[in-house]
Structures are given as structure tokens and as C-alpha cells.
Structure 1
């Protein structure tokens, strides 16, 4: 402050003032008395200098501004000490704020100085800038409206009024329907009052009403409560679980009104670097952020201070680029990342650490990666190796296997038929070993063949998504032909999951099953009348407890229990099918409640499961196990491999059909009663597929699979493709999001999105047969497809 004041031209007369009153009504006599007692003789009142020998009389109801004159002096080289003392007094009286008035300054504008972190004009203050102010995980930085979450649970107008084609009379306001007689009567009266007050026709479709009208109905006015305020009031006051559950179905997470999803308080968002707040920087993709920090120009002390920080930021961003995460935004929520993306994020952290002599173990790091992006990942892994580390991968990707220094091939089969080392060594040693199934696929002795003939494409008999613009999609229109095997491809982050899962699946599921889940932004989907069922088959577990198993999931166990109940011994004893359920009391072992194992809670360690000492894992009590079918107890049947059970029940057509399907999908090696917690993602997915295959089909079902080859060996992929094509042969439509070239080449139709990921993706690069995609020079997918066609 002293330095700035001393820059005023020599000889200038200045006045140092401390502000006391700013824009307040009143006579303020006590203020004048106070400054008189402190020995000050002048003040500036409403812009005029006055003498304080007598206290001035101010208009009581006018707004006034009062500054006390602390010192008047002439700028000279030898006045610095006096100036220092006067400035110190000024800041003390003015609570950190002071003015300097210059006699030569004709405009009358004062120099304003403040030692506080505050706006001198409005007085809004903030704490000293610290790193915690920019963290939404800290109370010092988090938005007070949402506690740093960026969104809050609130009633969603889209769920409250799910069908805008209906009129209010027809029940467009779903949240005000089907209540008890008293409540329903109240809501009906409210609608009549609203209609009369605002002259709203009750028979007109809700979507055709003016926005002012629908906003008044949904959000209320000063004379009308509104639907959503009414629901909020009930939700906050009720303690009834049933009502809370129903109201929750009309709620979704919406962007916070205070921070608009930025998650930080206003003070933190007001700090900017090169005109960007920290939230705006976090909204950049990794690629855009790297460009921003490389081109950022700072000067003087700022450049010196920021130099080491910028170097670290740029290095870390480059590491994420190296592992193929260029399309992901810096602030993307971790729960929205796929397994592969999360794993690669952790990998980037390790690469950046620069450690040596570390053993890294990665499980399927190429999950969700396009062949182009897999090459980037491979370079990053080789860099880790070259630093002096050991990198161990569990992997099925052919390109990655071919670049490994050493390969360990396990087998020869799956489940109990596996567990042995078939061969190990270099790529040549693997491919030369005739016992290695992996080697046979690598040397092309065994391979997935191209289809002899692709199915005919009829674009007039198709689903058409119009105006898809969720996330990075560029308002595109996409046609998905029906009754074929269709594959959606594109580089990582090109918009595949957004198009298929967020828009297509959610929108059709909402239409067919009246779901409350809101689909991604789009205009409409044409052709839904051609399908009567939509099924998403993923690799999530078929159950989350040891009770769930392939037999229970496919419902074949219900038939087996009924069969045991029909045996002569069971009839004599009066046993029904419920006797053979391990979920209810009667026939099960009560020591383990039919689980066969017991959970032992371990303090500070994960829970452990141990074999039940009472039933020895058989799940049933002794008297239940005395009843047999073909000399096998119910426990013996659950312990059978599926292929053995298929032969055992070959004369029972209903049971045989389901077991045959499970066997056909390559699951003959697993046990009927094998706990779902021990099944891999690929095994769970094939059980779901087998369940669908065993049902009586209408031929109008749309199956959606997202990366179904995850965790699958070449032989498993071949088996999976047989199942998928079999579903299509039954007249259904199979839509797959996939990066695996073996799946792509067998598809009838491919929709390739891109050309890049993130903001540079979201367009249809090409759509057609694999051969057509391969000819497109702009398609990254086409470049790789040419090698396998």
C-alpha cells in the first residue's frame, strides 16, 4: 500500500481517510462523538469535508456515507515514515479498508486499499485462498446447497408426468393418481380449482399446454401450491414407509440449484486461471486439459511459482493419455467409469510414480478398449517393464498376448477340468504346442470362421433413434435393423453406451414396462411396435448370496423339486416340493439355514465362509436326504455337473431342455448347485443367455449386450457367438456393443461411431456390413477389420 501511494507524483497533496459508515440511514451522532474523543478533527460526510468542532446534524431518513480524515500530507521522499504510521491508523479504524484522496484528481475518484479478502464495493468476503477451498470433499470448499455432491434428490417433472400425450383428465399427473379415497378426492378438487383459476382445459394433452401453465401446475404460484411442492411437503412430513417408497419412485438426482452441479462454493468458483474456474477446467477432457496447461502463459512471479506445479500436472495428464483415457473428463465421477477405465486410471497413477522393482498385476486391462486404444495401453505397460518392473497380465486379447515376453497357458478345460499349466514360454513355444487351445487359435489351426452368408438387411423394418444428443452424441439419427445380429462399434468414448444403454434401452423399457428411469436426451424412437420385449444381458452376478445358483436362476430346480416330491417315498412321508427348498424351514439344515456353509465375521478382516459341520455342505437334514430319485438325493443332484445332470434327466423333457441349453452354451463343467458367488462374469452371462434360449420365444425380442466378450477365451467367444446367432435364427434381434474383431466380423450389420472419443466423437462414421465398414478410410474400426475379413 505504501509503495502504491508513494508512486503518486511528488508534491501532490493527499488525504488519508478511514470509512466508518457506508450507505446507512440515521443521524449517527454516536459515530461523530467517538471520533471526536479519539482526537480527529475532520470528516468527510456524503462527499463534503467538514470540521468536527461541532457535531453536524444529519437527515435521519437519508442514506449517508461517513469517512474520518486521519491525515493530510504532501507526497515527498522523506514523508514515508509519517505515511506508514498514518496508513496503519487508517486501517485500524476502517477495519482493514482505507481511501486516499488526491487534490489534483479532478474526477474525485479515491484510491481504495483493503487488507481483507473482500470486495470493497459490496463487502462480500472470503477466507485466505488455500487448497482445501477448491476441494468439494472439504467443508471449506463444498457447496453448502449439496454438500459437494453436485446434485440432490428431488422430484423429477419427467417422472411426475411420464406421458405428456395424456390429458390432466386422463391422469397425466401420475403422482396424483391411485391414492386413498380422501387424498384422491383432495387432489381431484385441486385440479378442478387449478383449471378454473387458470382457465386450463382438462381434456387437452399435457404436452400441448403452454409452458407457463405447466410450470404453474407443477411448481405452483402464490395462489396454488403446485404438484411438486405438495409432494415435497408430504415427503418431509410423512413417516409411513409405504408412502415414502411410492414418492421416492418420482424422484431422481437433479443438478444442485446453488452450484449448478459445480460442487464448490461461489467463492471457490470465482477464482480463475486464464478465465477458467477450477470447475471449468475439470469439465475438460484429459486431452483438452493437457492442451490448456501446455499453452497456459504466466508471467513474472506467477510463472516461477507455477513452473514445478505445471510440470507435474502435464506429466500426470500425459500418463492418462498413454493408457487411452484421453476422452474422459477430469471431473468425471468414479462410479460412472467402467471396470477397465478405473483400472487404467490406477495404472496411470503407478506409471507416474516412477517406481522400480515393483510387480504389477492387472486383470483384463483391455476391457472396454478399441484395438486402436489397446496399442496405447500396450506402450504404457512396456514402459513400466522397461523401467525395471515386472508386469503380469490376466488377458485374452490376442494383440496383447502376441506382444508378451512370456506366456503361461492354463487349462486344458474350465472349472474342475482346468487348473493345470498346459504350456508356458514365448509366443512361438505356445503356438507350437498342439495341446494348447490358446496356441491353436493363435496359429490359426482353429479359428472363428466368417459366416457363409450374412442375413438380409431391411432398413424399413428397423428401430430408428432420432435426435440422439445425450452426453457427446451430436444430435444423430441411427437405424437399427431388426431380426439380425447388429454390432455397435467405435473407439473408446465415442458414445456407444450412451446411444444403446442410456437412450435406446431406457426409452424402450419405459415404453414397454412403464419404467420410471429417465432415458438420455433424444427426440423419439420409431419402430418400437415391431418388438414386444427388450432384455439386457450383462455380466453381473446371477445372485449375490451363496443360496443363488444355476439351478435356481434357470428355474430348473423348481421342476427337480417337484420331481422329488412325486417319488413314492416322498408321497408316503407327505413331502411336497417345498420340503426340498433350502430357503424355507422343513427339509433344510437349520444349522446353516440351507446354505451348506456358515459365515464367520472377522473383525478387521473380510468375512469368511466355512463348511457347515452339521450337514457337511449338503444343505438338507438327514430325513430329507433319505428320499432319492434313481439312487440320488436332492443334494447329490445339486452336486452334479450340468453335463452329467443332462444325461441323468434325459427322459424328463422339461428339465432336459433347460440342461441341454446350459450344456450347449459351454457350461457343462459347472455344478447345478454351484454358488453364484463363485461364477465368473462370462459364466453368469451365459447362464442368462441359456435361460433366454430355453424359453418359448415370440421372435420379437430385442437382446442388448454390452461387451459380452469380457473375460472370455477365444473358444468361449466362439461358443457365445453360436448362442447369439441362434437367438437371431429364432427371429429375434441381437444388439451388441463390442470391440472384439471376432464378434465384429460375424455381425450382419455394424454401426460405427466416432471418429474419436469424447467431444470429437458422437457421430455415425459408417453403417453397413463389416465389408462396408472396412472400406471406409475414416473408420478406425475399418482399419482393423480389414485384417480379419
Structure 2
């Protein structure tokens, strides 16, 4: 690997005189010696099919080296607290500036983090209340649910209290010997059960409903105490005491699935009765401005709060009020006016999280910064994309370099410069296909150039529904007593601006019904050992094929079982915990990242060992397995547009769109169902959208019903039936403003969706 450097002489310039970022010989991941000049202080959009190398160039090379070099300017002591970053595989990088990555990573599920805390709006609002609220109760910390001064003493600033439903833990009609405890891990004769049954506090033959008050208290709530079990002393704890210590103190996502299911069933969360869910103590709730306390303000829709703050006038806090108004107006402008400041940050979608992060930078005094965006239009209606474009251009016009990975033609159209990578994905990608202006891209013979003006047409004949799923009286979140029939046996598309209520309607009232399968973009639960081969069940026929070919047992070909490298336990990486410093992952020296023992790697199937097979992309593996279950699973992965995905690629490296398509591939093996897809075009190149539409058609023609929540006009145009929610977002939405065919929408409706679909089809 060669080093990346910044220029020490005059900054490189292009032929038109603009300074440029020079990339020379980039080889990160699948990049093949990519050399390109990217103009500074301009908006550059990076295009190409999924897996073509866009992210490897933008995030893995340019942004990674910029951030690594900035980290090196800190003292060794400060660096010891930062994650270790290796140099990207590139010959040279010249003329970099500080890079700020604005990605779609969720903002964490910390229950104390809200939209207000993430944007500093809550901090400014607290100061306003500490100065102007009556009665005056103290400094700004008195209004913070994250400090002892301001938090509700009952729920400690969480806003919710939890209670354990005892009847989900035990069957009162049974004795311990009869299996009264229904908690995972407490089966009769298990270790925990033996300690309880032999504790002496109650008879294991006595039915729980016959326990005395003291026995019941000992059984459920007794603190840890030593008891004699057999020949030795053991620690006894009441059942609820033990559950709280062993299960409820853990992060939910780290639990095994059966434990998580038990906790979700047994633990009941409710708004705190003392603060009403506001998280704040009585003093903070007593202080008001124009009749509203800070909890009222935080619960308001941001567009309404901006209006409320705009009416407050006080020369003592005028600059602060101006800053708060500017921040709230930016949130409205970016299409997030339907949120509230008390909305937990962990509940935001990836697109919403990215736009919240973007707001932090709009008012920044920094210039000549490189901003890097990952599909900023994700989750946006065409109406909102125009707002996003305006913000990207504003960042550029402040003197910044803006790099955007994007597929939407509306964003490509405003670019000063386009870099197209491909021509394909994975090993078929990684080449520079085009670099220049948008007009040149249109004229080029690249896949992106050919599809830039492509438009999906309306169906000549829409399919007839075979019944419907009825929704009545829907009032979740901002929905306003919605009554609607979602047709079955067709492709039904639910659309509307961000925050209009689409997801509330479909996920809130259809998900969970019999025969309904949801394939969304949420993270796939699993450890760093999980990959497409394990998740789809593909590994089982692969292991069987290897075992049969070599006359050995299948367990040898699992990195989680007998064949695992003993040094890294089959991970391929060794994680070193550095106590107070960030942990470091390094490639295992024993197996060189191959995950298996040397003996296992000697066994071959048609000339390939198990490590080489797991390193294959789906397309290559599909050709390698000509028959059987493996080929069927790989065929479904090809159908959903994942030919470039490596079989052993860790699941935590997949994008939201890739996760959704992987879930869809698994569910396609099920019998006829109703599929709910949430923005399946996320991360798809223009050329791949046609493939997605063909897949959706195939699902319907095979007897399924497909319900798609989507903003992409190509999907709307291709639908048999459209349900448009709106007319706006937040409290301006929550109604069905149209239901019918796309042709009827274009001919008769005047919704935002109708206007944009007419423009799309007519262009």
C-alpha cells in the first residue's frame, strides 16, 4: 500500500483555472488505479451502479485520508482516544481540505438524545426560558432533563417508567417442579432453577398461587443472599431481581433473539405518571413564556415552534433568539418542520438523521471545507428534493467543496461536475467511466449517460385488484381518522411528502397482519460474524457440498464451529481491547483473514476452498453452483439486484437499500404473501430501477400483493394503484388526498405528487 500525500507546492489547477483535488492511483476495495481531478469549491456528483466504487472513492479514499491527516495534527495523548485509521490504498492525494462527512448513519438509540439535543436547539431554548420564563427558577440547567437540577426525579429524565408483568414470568397454577417459571434459562433442572428450587425459602412442590406473602416476596424480590445447594454455597436472588440484573441492564440489541422477545413481552413501558412523559421536574414545568412551558415548546411541531419563537421580543436575548429562529427555519426549509424537538434521535430514519446533521453546518462560519453527502435525497418526495438541492448549492456558494454520492437525476442535473464509475459492480466496476459536466455525461455512452433522460411510462392497462386490506379509523401519529382500502393482487404505491403519514399508515396498520411480509431498511440483527451466506441459509448447502466432496463432516466448513481458526475464533480479525483507548481490529496472523484452519483450507470443491467460495460475489457463485438449493438462493439474490455482494461480506457493511433487498430475497422463498417494501429504490442506479420494477411485476404475477412506500416517480408511474397521503407533512398531512390509478391522478388531481408526476411523464 502506498502513501497518500497533500501538496506542498502550488495547489493543482484544472485547465479552466479552478483548483482541484488530485486523486492518483486509487485502489481502495474494487477501485482499479483510478486517477481523477475534482474541482474545488464546486458541487461534484458521483454516479454509477450500486457497488461500482463510488463510496470507495469518496468515503474510503478522499474523506478517509482528510480525516486521518486532521487526526494526526492532535497530540499523541488525544490521538490515543481516537479510532486508529489506516492510510487508504492510493498513490497520491493532493490539495485536500478538511472533510466533514454527513452520512445516513442512525443517530444512536440513546434515550437521552433528541432532535433538540442533536441540533443544539434545546440548549438555546433552555437559555431563553432561564432568562424570560416566569417564575424564574434558575439557570439553563434547571430546564435540562439530562441534569439532576431539571430531570423528573421519578423517571430520571427518561420520560418513561418500566414495569415487569409477573404473569409473563410465571404460571401461578403450577409449582416450580411442574415448570412454573417461563423465563428463558429457568427450565426445570437448569442451574438457575436448581438454586431457586433448593433455596429453602419455599417448597418446589407448592403451587405459586398458594405462596404466602413472605414466600412470594422471597420468590420475586429477595436481594442476593448465599444459600446452601448440595455440597456448596450459591447465590440466590429473587426472580425479578435476577431478571433486572441479567437481562434488563443489557442493551436490547445485544440480546439473543429469544431473550429479546421475552423482554419485549414481559416489560411494559409507560409514560412517567409524575412528569407525563416530559422528562422534566415540577419546577421546570412551572416556568412559562406566553402560557407555554418548555415541555410544551419541545413537543410542538418545529414549524409551529419557529412561529412561536418569532413572536418573542426581548433585547436581552435578541441575538440568541435570532440564532434559534435561524436554526428552526433551517429545519423547516430542509423539510423537517413536521418533527418536534422532543422526538428521540434514535427514531429518525437514515435520511432524516442526515438532514438533521446537515442543519448543523448551514449556519457554520467555516468555509473552504469539503462536505461529503451519501444520497441526501433518501426519503424525500420530488417536492422536497428541490429544497435539498437549494441547500447543497448554498453550501457550495459559501466557498465549500461539495461531494455527493447520488442516483437521482434531479441532483445530477445541478452538478458542476460529474464523476461516473463502473461500468458494472464489484469486480466489474472500479473504473473511471466519465469525468466532466452534465451535458458531456448525457452525450457519453456510459450507463448513467444513457439513462439520465430515461422515463418509466404509465401502464397501458392496470391490473384488477383481488380484494383489499381495509384500514379504518387510523389515527396513529398525525393520521386523521383515515379510512382506506389497500388493493390486493396488484402493485399499490403509497406516496406523499416526508412526514405526511405514509409509514404510520402502512407499518402501523398493515404490518403484523397474517400473510404480510415487511422488507424494510432497518439494520439486520446479528453479530459481526453474520454475512449474506449465513443470513440467507446459503451456507448450509455450501457446507454440505464441501463435506460430500471431501468425505468429511459439514461442521468443518463453518467459521462458527469446528473449522474455525483458533486464534481469531473464525472472525478473520483479532480485536484488541486497549482499555481507555479505542479498540483495534487487525487481520488475524494465523489464518491471514481466511477464518478457517489450514486443514479445512486443503479441502476443495471444484478447485476452490471454502474461504475462496465465501469471497465470491453472488454472480460468480451463481455460475459456480449449477444446481440445487444454493443456486436457487443465489438466483433470488440476483433477482433483487445484488450480483456484486460477496457471500462472506459482514452484514454491518451493507447499506439500507442492500439490507432491504437481502430481506426481500429471503422472503421470496415463502408462499404467496403480501409484501410491504419501504423505499426499495434507495441506493439504486437509474438502470437498476427498471430491474426493480420488473421484479415487482414478477412478484405480482406470481400471485402476491405488493405495497410500496415510495417517492420515485418511475415506481409511481408503474403502479396499478396510487394512494397519496398529505397534503403536507406533520399536522398538515395525515389525510388520503387521492386514491386511484396513476393516469387518473395526472388527469384530475392537484396534489404535489400529481404535479411532479405530470412533469416526470411529460418530460
Common topology (TM > 0.5): yes
Contact 1:145-1:256 within 8 A present in 2 as well: yes
- Secondary structure, in 3 states, of the residue corresponding to 2:354? helix
Contact 2:676-2:708 within 8 A present in 1 as well: yes
Alignment of 1:145 onto 2:158 = no
1:409 matched to which residue of 2? Answer: 420
Deviation at 1:787, TM superposition (A): 2.1
Contact 1:324-1:374 within 8 A present in 2 as well: no
Deviation at 1:637, TM superposition (A): 2.3
Structure 1 residues 441 and 753: CA distance shift in structure 2, 3 A: same
2:567 matched to which residue of 1? Answer: 591
Contact 1:484-1:748 within 8 A present in 2 as well: yes
Contact 1:488-1:752 within 8 A present in 2 as well: yes
Contact 2:679-2:710 within 8 A present in 1 as well: yes
**Counterparts of 1:251 and 1:185, CA distance in 2:** 21
Contact 2:170-2:180 within 8 A present in 1 as well: no
Contact 2:135-2:288 within 8 A present in 1 as well: no
Is the radius of gyration larger for structure 1 or structure 2? 1
Q: Where do 1:691-710 residues align within 5 Å?
A: 691-693=666-668, 695=669, 697-699=670-672, 701-710=673-682
Alignment of 1:538 onto 2:538 = no
**Counterparts of 1:136 and 1:654, CA distance in 2:** 54
**Counterparts of 2:247 and 2:357, CA distance in 1:** 43
Structure 1 residues 358 and 278: CA distance shift in structure 2, 3 A: same
Q: Where do 1:89-488 residues align within 5 Å?
A: 128-155=137-164, 177=171, 180-181=174-175, 236-237=240-241, 246=262, 249-296=265-312, 303-434=314-445, 436-444=446-454, 447-458=455-466, 461-488=467-494
2:557 matched to which residue of 1? Answer: 580
Deviation at 1:468, TM superposition (A): 0.7
Deviation at 1:400, TM superposition (A): 1.2
RMSD across aligned C-alpha pairs, in angstroms? 3.1
Contact 1:178-1:184 within 8 A present in 2 as well: no
Contact 2:618-2:634 within 8 A present in 1 as well: yes
Kindly indicate whether structure 1 or structure 2 has the higher relative contact order, using CA contacts under 8 Å at least 6 residues apart. Answer: 2
**Counterparts of 1:185 and 1:648, CA distance in 2:** 50
**Counterparts of 1:542 and 1:331, CA distance in 2:** 27
1:671 matched to which residue of 2? Answer: 646
Contact 1:766-1:776 within 8 A present in 2 as well: no
2:59 matched to which residue of 1? Answer: none
Count of residue pairs the alignment pairs up: 568
1:718 matched to which residue of 2? Answer: 690
Contact 1:705-1:737 within 8 A present in 2 as well: yes
**Counterparts of 2:243 and 2:465, CA distance in 1:** 56
1:784 matched to which residue of 2? Answer: 756
2:664 aligned to which of 685, 689, 711: 689
- Secondary structure, in 3 states, of the residue corresponding to 1:353? coil
Deviation at 1:129, TM superposition (A): 2.1
Consecutive unaligned residues in structure 2, runs of 5 or more: 1-133, 182-212, 223-237, 249-258
Deviation at 1:242, TM superposition (A): 9.2
2:587 matched to which residue of 1? Answer: 611
**Counterparts of 1:400 and 1:307, CA distance in 2:** 37
Structure 1 residues 600 and 237: CA distance shift in structure 2, 3 A: closer
- Post-superposition Cα deviations, 1:24-71, rounded to whole Å, max 9, x if no partner, equal xxxxxxxxxxxxxxxxxxxxxxxxxxxxxxxxxxxxxxxxxxxxxxxx
- Post-superposition Cα deviations, 1:664-704, rounded to whole Å, max 9, x if no partner, equal 333333333333333333333323222233x2x432x1212
Alignment of 1:624 onto 2:600 = yes
Structure 1 residues 238 and 618: CA distance shift in structure 2, 3 A: closer
Structure 1 residues 386 and 721: CA distance shift in structure 2, 3 A: same
TM-score by length of 2: 0.69
Contact 1:618-1:635 within 8 A present in 2 as well: yes
**Counterparts of 2:559 and 2:346, CA distance in 1:** 35
**Counterparts of 1:416 and 1:540, CA distance in 2:** 27
Deviation at 1:127, TM superposition (A): 8.0
Consecutive unaligned residues in structure 1, runs of 5 or more: 1-124, 161-172, 188-223, 509-531
Contact 1:495-1:761 within 8 A present in 2 as well: yes
- Post-superposition Cα deviations, 1:167-221, rounded to whole Å, max 9, x if no partner, equal xxxxxx777647633699999xxxxxxxxxxxxxxxxxxxxxxxxxxxxxxxxxx
TM-score by length of 1: 0.67
Deviation at 1:241, TM superposition (A): 7.9
**Counterparts of 1:578 and 1:186, CA distance in 2:** 36
- Secondary structure, in 3 states, of the residue corresponding to 2:335? coil
**Counterparts of 2:362 and 2:264, CA distance in 1:** 44
Deviation at 1:277, TM superposition (A): 0.8
Structure 1 residues 280 and 431: CA distance shift in structure 2, 3 A: same
Structure 1 residues 713 and 600: CA distance shift in structure 2, 3 A: farther
Contact 2:517-2:667 within 8 A present in 1 as well: no
1:526 matched to which residue of 2? Answer: none
**Counterparts of 1:595 and 1:185, CA distance in 2:** 38
1:659 matched to which residue of 2? Answer: 634
- Post-superposition Cα deviations, 1:500-546, rounded to whole Å, max 9, x if no partner, equal 2233214x2xxxxxxxxxxxxxxxxxxxxxxx422221234556444
1:114 matched to which residue of 2? Answer: none
Contact 1:126-1:267 within 8 A present in 2 as well: no
Contact 1:259-1:266 within 8 A present in 2 as well: yes
Structure 1 residues 179 and 667: CA distance shift in structure 2, 3 A: farther
**Counterparts of 1:410 and 1:673, CA distance in 2:** 24
Contact 1:231-1:247 within 8 A present in 2 as well: no
**Counterparts of 1:772 and 1:284, CA distance in 2:** 36
1:752 matched to which residue of 2? Answer: 724
- Secondary structure, in 3 states, of the residue corresponding to 1:148? coil
Deviation at 1:260, TM superposition (A): 0.2
- Secondary structure, in 3 states, of the residue corresponding to 1:480? strand
- Secondary structure, in 3 states, of the residue corresponding to 1:731? coil
**Counterparts of 2:704 and 2:428, CA distance in 1:** 34
Contact 1:708-1:738 within 8 A present in 2 as well: yes
- Secondary structure, in 3 states, of the residue corresponding to 2:760? coil
